[in-house]
Structure 1
Amino acid sequence: MITSSAEQPAQPPAGPRRRARTAAVALAVALAALATAAPAQAGATRPAPHAHQALPALTPRAETPPLYDDEAGGNADADDPAIWRNAADPGRSLVVATAKEGGLRVYDLDARQVQSVAAPSGPAPGDAPGRFNNVDLVQGLALPSGPADLAVTSDRGNDRLRFYRIDGSAKARRANAPLTDVTDPAAPPVFSASQQEINDQRTAYGLATWTDRTTKRSYALVSRRETTRVALLELLPAANGTVGYRKVRTLDLPSAFRLPNGRTWTPCGEPGELPQVEGMVVDPADGTLYAGQEDVGIWRLRADLTSKPELIDRVREYGVPGTYDEGTEECVPGADPGYGGSRLTADVEGLALITEADGDGYLLASSQGDNTFAAYDREKSDDNEYEGGFRVTAASATLDGSEECDGAAALNAPLGPQYPRGLLVVQDGDDTPQAGGREATGFKFVDLGRVLDALDD
C-alpha cells in the first residue's frame, strides 16, 4: 500500500539495523547458484550468471585519501558525494562528500582534501553523535547576503538536515575553508518525536534536493532509515542568514508486493525493519524524483510526492523469499520464482543524473551487489529504457576501482583541463591497498567523457 499525507506522527522506533553489508552479496551468489541449478519459471527475466562481466570497464583518474571507520581514523566512513562547479573558475570546482561520524570532506579536482568539517555531537553524553549520511547541493538560494550555493546533508545521528554555504573565492581557498555552517540552530528533527527516538536511529537517511522552476522554492526529499517513508521538506532561509525547513508532506512506499503467482512478497530483513530508501535524485527539468528502494528497485514519481510511484526496474532478488538468521544476521534465500529484473543486484544504492542541454541524458544507479553501474534513458517517454552499464575497475596497483558503491554524483559540464567533459564521482566501499589490515573507504574520480563514450557505443 502507498500512503501519502501531510505531517504524520512518527512511527514507533525499532532496534538499530545490524544486517551486515555483505548480506546482499551473499544473496546474489546464492541466486546465481540457484539460476544454474534450475530454470526460472516462464516469463522470467533472469539473466545468465555473471553476465555483467561483459560490461565496459572504466578506470578512475584519481582517488581521495582513504577514510578509516575506527577510533584512530576518526570513525570516518565514506558514503555519498556531490560535485560543486565553480562558475568563475571551473578548474577550481569542489567535491563535497559525507564521512558519516567523520562529518564532511571537501576535495579539489585532484582528489586532495581541502577541508574537513566535523559532525556535531549529540545534545548530551550518551546521545547518538552526528552522522552525515547523504549530501546534495542547492544553487542560488536567496539568503539576506545574496544568492548562495549550499551543501545540504542528512545528519542521521541527530535526525536533522545541516546546511553549509559554499565559497569558492580566493580568500576561502587560502583559508582551506570553502564551507561555512549556516544551519538554523532551531531546526527540528525530521522524523523523531523525542531524543530517545533519535537515539534509536530510525532517522533522516537518504537525501535529494530540488528547486521548483515555477515557484523558485527549494526543497529536500529525505528518506527515513529502516522504513519506506520519504518526506518533502521546504527549505526556509531566515533573516539572520541561517537556513531551516518545514515538513510539507510524507509518502510511504510499499513494503509488500503482490507477485504474478498470487503470493505476497516482503523483502527479507531484520525483524521490525522495512525495505528502506537511500539513493535519490531529482530531474531538475520536470521535477521527477527517482528513489532507490535498496532491496526492491527504482521508483519514479513527482518530487512533490503527489503522484502514484511507478517501479521502473527491479533488483534480481525481487520476489525471492528469505529467512532471517539471527546467528549470522543475514538472510537465507529460498527458491527464485524468476520475477526479478536483469540489471540490478541488491542493494540499489547511489543514483545520479547525467543531464544534457537537449533533454537527453542518463539516470545512473549503483548496483552494489555485483559492483556495476546501470544507465537508463533520462526520457520518461521511453519509459526510462535501459541503455547499458559499466564497471569502475583498477587503473594500477595503487589506484583501485569501486566496490560495494554506496553513493555517486555526476556533473556534465566542463571542469577545467582535467575534466573538460565533466566528472563522475563514485564511492568505493572497499578501498585497497589497505594499510595494516585496516578496512578503508574512499571516492574515485572518473572522466565523465569516458562514461558517455561507453554508453553511446
Structure 2
Amino acid sequence: MSHPPTSRHKRWLTIAAVAVVTAAAAAPAEAGTPVAEVTATAETPTLFDDAAGGDASADDPAIWRDPDDPTRSLVLGTAKVGGLRVYDLAAREVQSLPAPKAPGAGDKPGRINNVDVIEGTDLAVATDRGRDKLVVYSVDPGRGTGPVKDVTAQDSAPYIFSADQDEVNKQATAYGLASWKDRKTGRIHAVVTQETTNKVALLELTKEAGGTYGYRTIRTIGIPTAFTLPNGKRWAPCEDPGEQPYLEGMRVDPANGMLYAGQEDVGVWRMRADLTGEPTLIDKVKDYGVPYTQDPGTGECVPGEDPGFGGDHLVADVEGITLLERPGGGGYVVVSSQGDSTFAMYDRDPAKGNAFVRSFRVVAGRGEGAIDGADGTDSLDIVNESFGGKYPQGLAVIQDAPDTPTVDGDDGEPREGSNYKYVDLRNLSAATGLGFR
C-alpha cells in the first residue's frame, strides 16, 4: 500500500521484539583460523576538516563500473559537508561536487553521508544527512563538464523523516542507504535509515521531466531496540540519552530481494528489502547482552560482567555492508567490524543461515612509499568483475579513518585525515584462500 511522501501521511510500523527470528548459530571457520591480512595497492588523496570547521571527511564509497570500457570506471566517495568526490581507477580525484547549500539562514547545509550505485544503471543515489533528503546523480565518464551530475528533481525531493525545516535542523535525518533496481519491474528503490532512531524507510525513485528524479515514500518500519536474552532478562545497548540503537550500513542482494542491515551496537539483520515480514538477526556484536550502568553526569556506560551471549566476529560498531558476488551465483556478505578494524564474511545464501566464513583486515604495506592500512573502517564496496589494467579480477574500495600519517595544521595541532584504500581482489582472494572466481 502506497502513501504520500509527506511526513504526516506516513504509516509508522514497528516490528515487535518478540517477533524477531534469530538465525541458527553458524559454524565458524576452523578453530584458530587467523584473520587474513591484505595490503592496499592505491589510496585516494587525504581529506581533512576544512578551514571553516566543516567536516570534509571520507565516509562511504561506491564503485561505478563502465560496462563499455571498464578502465573508465569511477569510485564515488562521500565527504559529508564536503560533498561528493569522484576518483578514477588510479585513485586520483577527477571531480568534486559540493554539498547542497542551506535553504536559509540558520538552517543546516547539505551533508552527503552514504552513496550507492544502482546496479545496471548510470545512476547513483546518496543520503543528504543535513537536509533529510536523497540526492540522485547520473554518471557519464564522457561528459565534458564532469562525469557525475546532480539530477535530483528538487520539487519532487521531500523530507524523508522530518515534517518541516525545524525538524530537519534537529538532525534526526536520513543516514544509511541501500538501493536496487527490481529485476522484474524495473523500478528503482532505496532503503534509508534515520540517525538516532530505529526507523527504516522504503522509497521509490520517480522519473521526472528533463531526465531528473524524485522519490516517494512507500512505508517506514521500526527495527527492535530491546531484546530478551537466553537468561530471560531484557537488554538494550547503551546509547546517548534520547537515542535508540540505530542502523547505517546496508546492502540489498538483488538476486533474492534480501536486505542486510547493520544495527551498530546490536549486529547484522537480514530482512526483505520491501520491509515486510520478520527480520532475522544473523550475527551479534561481541558485547551483545552485556549489562551496564550509565553515569548520569558524563553519560559514559560502565559495562558489567559479560554473560556470553554475544557473537564472535563483530566488535561494535557494525558499519558498512557490501556483497562480494561470485560469477554465476554465490558469494559473500561482507560486514565492517569497526571496533577491531576487520571485515567479517558470511555466506550469501540465506538457506545456509548466512554462515560466517572468514574475516580479513587491510594492513600497512612494507617499504618506502608503502600504503598504510585501513583503521576504524566505516564502509566499503566490492565489485568482482574485471576493470582491466591493475584490477583484472575486481576491486575493493575501503574507507580509512584516520588515515596515517597525521599532519599538523596552521595552529600546529594534528589534523586527522581520512581517505579510501583500493585493494586488488586477486590479493584478497589469495589472502583469504577463498578463490572468488
Q: Could you say which residue in structure 2 is the equivalent of 1:335? A: 305
Contact 2:338-2:377 within 8 A present in 1 as well: yes
* 8 A Cα contact 2:381 2:398, kept in partner: yes
1:323 paired to 2:300: no
Q: Equivalent residue for 2:396?
A: 424
Q: 1:63 to 1:332 in 2, by over 3 A?
A: same
Q: Which residue, out of 407, 426, 433, partners 1:449? A: 426
Residue in structure 2 matching 1:69, options 31, 49, 56: 49
Instruction: Report the alpha carbon displacement of residue 323 of structure 1 after superposing the two structures with TM.
Output: 2.9
Corresponding residue to 2:244 among 271, 274, 294: 274
Aligned to 2:371: 399
* Structure 2 SS opposite 1:427: strand
- Structure 2 CA distance, aligned partners of 1:132 and 1:52? 41
> What amino acid sits opposite 1:291 in the alignment?
A
Query: CA 1:92/1:327 → structure 2, altered by over 3 Å: closer, same or farther?
Result: farther
What's the counterpart of residue 183 of structure 1? 152
1:370 maps to which of 333, 336, 340: 340
Secondary structure of the residue aligned to 1:251 is: strand
- Tell me: CA distance 1:430–1:259, structure 2 relative to 1, closer, same or farther (3 Å): same
Contact 1:5 1:250 in 2 (8 A): no
2:62 paired residue number: 82
Q: Is residue 219–residue 233 contact of structure 1 (8 Å, CA) maintained in 2?
A: yes
Tell which deviates more after alignment, 329-338 or 436-445: 329-338
For the pair 1:121 / 2:94, whether they are aligned, the reply is no
1:98-137 aligned at under 5 Å gives the runs: 98-137=78-117
Task: State how far apart, in whole Å, the 1-side matches of 2:329 and 2:350 are.
Answer: 11
Q: Distance in 2 between matches of 1:351 and 1:52?
A: 25
**Cα deviation digits, residues 131-190 of structure 1 (max 9, x gap):** 0110001245xxxxxxx5112100000000001110122x53xx4x10111101111000
Rounded to whole Å, the distance in 2 between the matches of 1:52 and 1:439 is 35
Q: How does 1:234-273 map to 2 (within 5 A)?
A: 234-273=204-243
CA distance in 2, matches of 1:433, 1:357: 38
Partner AA of 1:134 in structure 2 = N
Deviation at 1:10, TM superposition (A): 9.3
Aligned-partner SS, 2:271: strand
Deviation, 1:123, is 0.7
Aligned partners of 2:313 and 2:327: how far apart in 1? 27
Determine if the alignment matches structure 1 residue 54 to structure 2 residue 31.
no
Find the residue that maps to 1:134 and give its secondary structure: strand
User: Alignment partner of 1:54: what SS?
Assistant: coil
Task: Give the conservation status (yes or no) of the 8 Å contact 2:2–2:217.
Answer: no
> Equivalent pairs: percent with the same residue?
54
Distance 1:452 1:314 in 2: 26
Given the superposition, is the C-alpha separation of residues 168 and 88 from structure 1 closer, same or farther in structure 2, using an over 3 Å criterion?
same
1:92 is aligned to 72
Asked if residue 361 in structure 1 is aligned to residue 331 in structure 2, the reply is: yes
Q: Which residue of 2 aligns with 1:219?
A: 189
- Residue 20 of structure 1 is matched in structure 2 by none
Residue 28 of structure 1: aligned partner: none
Query: Alpha carbons of 1:454 and 1:360: their partners in 2 closer, same or farther (altered >3 Å)?
Result: farther
TM-score by length of 2: 0.89
Decide whether the 8 Å contact of 2:395 with 2:424 is kept in 1: yes
Contact kept, 8 Å, 2:84 with 2:98, in 1: the verdict is yes
**SS state at 1:395 partner:** coil
Determine if contact 1:10/1:192 at 8 Å carries over to the other structure: no
| Residues in 1 aligned to 2:162 and 2:151: alpha-carbon distance in whole angstroms | 22
Aligned-residue Cα RMSD (Å) equals 2.2
Q: Aligned-pair distance for 1:75?
A: 2.8
Judge which range, 421-430 or 324-333, deviates more: 324-333
CA–CA separation in structure 2 for the residues paired with 1:70 and 1:450 = 35
User: 2:140 maps to which residue?
Assistant: 167
Deviation at 1:202, TM superposition (A): 0.3
Cα distance, 1:286 vs structure 2: 1.0
Checking the alignment, whether the CA contact within 8 Å between 1:122 and 1:130 is kept in structure 2 is yes
The answer as to whether partners of 1:366 and 1:405 remain within 8 angstroms in 2 is yes
SS in 2 for 1:91: helix
- Kept after mapping to 2: 8 A contact 1:91/1:418: no
Contact 2:335 2:344 in 1 (8 A): yes
One-letter code aligned to 1:137: V
Taking structure 1 as reference, are residues 53 and 370 closer, same or farther at Cα in structure 2, changes over 3 Å only? farther
Judged with a 3 Å threshold, the aligned counterparts in structure 2 of structure 1 residues 426 and 328 are, in CA distance, closer, same or farther, namely farther
Structure 2 residues without counterparts, runs of 5 or longer: 11-24, 409-413
**Residue 203 (structure 1) aligns with:** 173
Instruction: State how far apart, in whole Å, the 2-side matches of 1:283 and 1:406 are.
Output: 20
CA distance 1:6–1:434, change in 2 (3 Å): same
What per-residue deviation string (whole Å, max 9, x for no partner) do you get for residues 61-88 of structure 1? 0111111124268530111000000112
Is the contact made by 1:359 and 1:379 (CA closer than 8 Å) also made in structure 2? no
Alpha-carbon offset, residue 449 of structure 1: 2.0
Structure 1 counterpart of 2:154, which letter? P
Q: Take 2:300 and 2:329, find their aligned partners in 1: how far apart are those partners?
A: 42
User: Of the candidates 125, 129, 134, which is equivalent to residue 152 of structure 1?
Assistant: 125
Contact 2:3 2:9 in 1 (8 A): no
Residue deviations 1:112-138 (CA, integer Å, cap 9, x gap): 101000001111111111101100012
Correspondence for 1:37:
none
1:449 aligns to what SS in structure 2? helix
- The amino acid that maps onto 1:407 is S
Q: CA deviation at 1:455?
A: 3.0
